[in-house]
A and B are shown apart, each in its own frame.
Chain A
Amino acid sequence: MSSDIPDHYGRTELVLMVMDPLHLFAYWEVTPESLREAQDALGAEMDGAGAVVRFYDISLIHFDGTNAHHTFDIDIGLEARGWYVPVWTADKSYCADLGFVARTGRFHAIARSNVIHTPRAGVSGNTDERWMRVKFVRRRKPDRARPLEFVPAPALPRQLSPEELRALQDRLAKEKALADARFAGGGLPSSQERSPR
């Protein structure tokens, strides 16, 4: 028999997690006190108000509560305690508020989440290169504050022939296709698919 674990922790919170570039997971806990506060704040407007998680796209900004690139609401049932949320674009930063939207449109938040960043789902368009020299250290830990020395990008050994250039481009295209197929659910097998340990 398993031990009993807490059903709730007595703390109102909203936590975001990344499932993949296009799916987030949100879980929450709402204490009775927080519910009462929301009721007090919205007053008569609480009647018919719906629970929502309001997401803010805060990529590359210092979010002050008002300057999100865009926001969207997901209607939730509070008792569900967790929700999967599809998003449209990869490589974004999000945070969210858990709260109530009154029929008048007024929003009252009871918890703000952590900030998450969704991973990229494809090859970066940035082809700038930076190169660095780092000395490997055997049998001891490198100095945490060791200076990192940026160096010029090394030249290729020689000019590539058209065939070699094509081979290089083919290779990159093939790698990209395999990696992309992976996220679509096919492609490369991994350990996880074969071994029920």
Chain B
Amino acid sequence: MSAQAIHPAGYLCLVLHCHLPYVRHPEHDRFLEENWLYEAISDTYIPLLRVMNGLVRDGVDFRLTTTLSPPLISMLRDPLLISRYERHINRLIELAAKEVHRTAYQPEYHRLATMYLERFLQTRNAFTNEYGRDLVGAFGRLQEMGKLEIITCGATHGFLPLLNVVPGAVRAQLRTAVAHYEETFGRPPHGIWLPECGYFPGLDEVLRDVGIQFFFTESHGLLYADQRPRYGVHAPVFCPTGVAAFARDLDSSKQVWSAEEGYPGDPAYRDYYRDIGWDLDYEYIKPYIQPDGKRGSTGIKYCRISGKTDQKQVYDRDWAMQRAADHAGNFMFNRERQVEWLRPTMDRPPIVVAPYDAELFGHWWFEGPEWIDFLFRKLHFDQQTVKPITPAEYLERHEINQVCTPCGSSWGHKGYHEVWLNGGNDWIYRHLHMAARRMEELAHRFSNADGLTQRALTQAGRELLLAQSSDWAFIMKTGTMVEYAVKRTKDHIARFTRIYEQLLAGRVDAGWLKDIEEKDNIFPSLDPRNFS
């Protein structure tokens, strides 16, 4: 092995944030928002697992860092949602088979219908047989192989800078997340993806207290730190608590994210929005669209991105794969030049941190998982300048880092808190803060509770955590599915408030409690002491 292979000029830390809010409605047979999970399983999580296992099989040395948020882990392990996912994929297989038949005399569509049918059959086989209906376990095995670093997140993805009006709320989000990770993977997490990349000075003290050793910030979280970081975003810093902060690299983010200049907007790629659920005969497509009969996406899409026109061109899989390989090569080329340029100005190899929402890959950008596959293969076989790395490995190799306190920041629009605090969602905070204070009060007052009281106390904690998901404020801001986000916030606050009042009055309604325990069943072993 050459000296260069041992000492690359720099590192690439690819981070995928896998998170979905906890959506589970046993009271409905089919529930539209549960599709977020089913689509992400088929489009993103299974394709990513298949890519990673393929790399392992072919001896490609790679490193990937992924969040698995506690709500996502909980949903992926929930028996009801697992069986409903199987129903979902079976329905898709049925539709794809009909499409193969329907398109028999339209060769270019027929090819694609056949591709979808094969793909869905493979997905089902992977889910049921290869991974034994346990995707979390499949991720965990890749972590044990040393290829994947799984990091945690807030317990329910609460936006910590705004919850911090009641500091106990931040502690509870983090304690619960860490305990849940330990329960899942049998060891504590090394690092965390702060929900929405939301950091505020002082948060690192809580991270240290729960045993977290690194987190990520948005670029200006580091660039605007209290003491200017010598290496900008290209080396981590230690907070005064010794917890390390890595910051997002600007160039690599832009290449992938940007809707206009980014790779996913290439005309060779599949168009996300044009779906047969909108186009085909209503009676034919009805069983496969929304539960209430409204038209919606099915997952079968035949068009490629064709610009602002209704005359969409038919998707060409081979061309798309060629472009994914080109784009992976371009990304690698840019990282090579970037680290070569940075290296002489630093006393250590720079690290380029490239974090993305995982659901971009596969769900929004259909070819995203293949792009990752090409990228890791090219990095392994074609060059020795950039090596993939995890934050843990970087910190093991580079124990000495600059000390500063990052600046409060997030990765939302404009970089601070506006997405989660604006005229469309600010009403939630008086309730979230009051409920958090009341939960602290309950946790102290009933610290020795048992039986029904203990169950009510624990359920109050679940309702509070579920209300705190940043997803609800985010949806209220973006304006789609707002009703659902408002309903979820109100339902959890109302349930919390009712338990609070019942506990103080010493009259817990056991029948009702059992009902909401079954509905809001996240964190079965939640410890109410997390709130004190």
Chain A residues engaging chain B, CB cutoff 8 angstroms = 1-6, 9, 15, 17-21, 23, 25, 27, 29, 81-82, 114, 117-142, 144, 146, 148, 150-151, 153-157, 160, 164, 167-168, 171-172, 175-176, 178-179, 182-185, 188-197
Contacts and interface: CB of A to CB of B under 8 A. Distances in A.
Contacts of B224: 119-124, 179
B359 A123 contact: no
B360 A132 contact: no
Nearest to B493: A5
B487 interface: yes
26 contacts: A3-B494, A17-B421, A23-B418, A27-B429, A114-B165, A123-B224, A123-B228, A126-B226, A129-B230, A131-B401, A132-B402, A134-B401, A135-B399, A139-B188, A141-B210, A142-B211, A142-B213, A144-B208, A154-B400, A164-B344, A171-B345, A182-B414, A184-B414, A188-B219, A190-B218, A191-B257
B486 interface: yes
Q: Which of A126, A134, A183 has the largest number of chain B CB atoms within 10 A?
A: A134
A194 B232 CA distance: 26
A92 to B, nearest CB: 12
Q: Which 9 A-B pairs have the closest CB atoms?
A: A141-B211, A3-B494, A119-B408, A20-B416, A179-B220, A2-B490, A136-B395, A130-B403, A191-B357
Contact of B414 (A6, A122, A183): A183
A190 B233 CA distance: 16
Nearest to B471: A197
Interface residues of B, number: 98
A193 B477 CA distance: 11
Interface string B403-419: 11001110111111111
A18 B410 CA distance: 12
Interface residue SS majority, chain B: mixed
Interface stretch (B2-10, B307-315, B430-438): B430-438
A182 B187 contact: no
B242 A120 contact: no
Nearest to B467: A5
Contacts of B190: 136, 138
Contacts of B29: none
Given A124-B228, A132-B401, A136-B392, A15 B414 contact: no
Interface of B: 17, 20-21, 36, 161-162, 165, 187-188, 190, 196, 200-201, 208-211, 213, 218-220, 223-228, 230, 232-233, 238, 240-242, 244, 250, 253-254, 257-259, 262, 341-342, 344-348, 356-357, 359-360, 364, 392, 395-396, 399-404, 407-409, 411-419, 421-422, 426-427, 429-431, 433-434, 471, 474-475, 478, 480-481, 486-487, 490-491, 493-495, 497
Given A141-B211, A196-B478, A179 B223 contact: yes
B227 A146 contact: no
B347 A190 contact: no
Contact of A5 (B209, B230, B244, B431): B431
A20 B218 CA distance: 14
A195 to B, nearest CB: 6
